[in-house]
Amino acid sequence: MSGAPDPAANAAPMRLNKFLSETGVCSRREADKWIAAGRVTLNGTQAGLGTRVAPGDQIRVDGNLVGPKQAPIYIALNKPVGVTCTSESWVPNNIIDLVGHPERIFPIGRLDKDSEGLILLTNDGDIVNAILRSEHNHEKEYIVSVDRPISDLALRMLGDGVRIMGRLTKPCRVQRIDRESFRIILTQGLNRQIRRMCSALGYKVRRLRRVRIINVHLGNLAPGSWRDLSAAELEGLLPAAGGVHPPAAD
């Protein structure tokens, strides 16, 4: 007597980096690095960047078996100063230890160790690059305090674009808060961009706090605390990241 067909048995092979991201162990970009470094095996053999995974294949990272895809997790954290945005457990004061989530998650992008505020974490590798791609023009909003009164001219220059690292930053929205602080909304994320922009104009950043990513606001979330994203936040965030949606509940 034959049983019902198993859909998984007929599933098409997928690229290894996509498989790893869908299981929630890392993003696709990080998966490529792990594969290139020889940390990933397929059925006991070192995998390559073009490797495809078929149903029944056994995937290991550093000898640890990688399981099936997990339910998607999306959380918001108010990162304090001094915490490093890395999933590497050997790094002191890393963001994963701070969150202490029972499932394996990783940050979407980063905030410098000496910066604070909103950062998103997930186990959904597909959403990471979609949110981080500069061509999508996703907004990130910051409140910045500098070491001395900032002039109206400097604020206009920040908004028009500042040359850092050999390139001109994209135009952005800047609004004064008081003599030494301002609000800035970026659509790109160069390395230490705001600090470099301020430095180029002769100012030193005293405090940098991110308060919004796309439609997700920091609100009154306490430093070091995190929360799951609401249904309304996901409804706006996931389409902005390219139409990625969590699976429907059973």
By mean pLDDT, which of 18-32, 77-91, 136-150, 209-223 is the weakest? 18-32
Residue 241 has pLDDT above 70, yes or no: no
Give the pLDDT of residue 221.
Answer: 96
Q: Which of 104, 83, 88 is nearest to 37 (CA)?
A: 88
Residue 174 has pLDDT above 90, yes or no: yes
Question: Are 74-133+218-240 and 139-213 in the same CATH fold?
Answer: yes
When pLDDT is averaged across residues 146-152 and rounded to a whole number, the result is 97
User: Could you tell me the residue ranges of all domains in the chain?
Assistant: 11-65, 74-133+218-240, 139-213
Architecture category of domain 11-65 in CATH: Roll (3.10)
When pLDDT is averaged across residues 90-101 and rounded to a whole number, the result is 93
Residue 98 has pLDDT above 50, yes or no: yes
Residue 230 has pLDDT above 80, yes or no: yes
Cα Rg for the chain, rounded, in angstroms?
Answer: 21
Token pair in block for residue 34: 């792990």
Q: What percent of the chain has pLDDT over 90?
A: 58
Residue 2 has pLDDT above 50, yes or no: no
3-state secondary structure 46-76: ECCCCCEECCCCCEEECCEECCCCCCCCEEE
Q: Is 132 helix (H, G, I), strand (E, B) or coil?
A: helix
* Euclidean distance between CA atoms 196 and 162, whole angstroms: 9
CATH number, domain 74-133+218-240, options 3.40.190.10, 3.30.2000.10, 3.40.50.300, 3.30.70.580: 3.30.70.580
Q: Under CATH, to which class is 139-213 assigned? A: alpha beta
**pTM, whole model, 2 decimals?**
0.74
Give the pLDDT of residue 69.
Answer: 67
When pLDDT is averaged across residues 73-88 and rounded to a whole number, the result is 94
Active site (catalytic) residues: 112
Residue 126 has pLDDT above 60, yes or no: yes
Residue 182 has pLDDT above 70, yes or no: yes
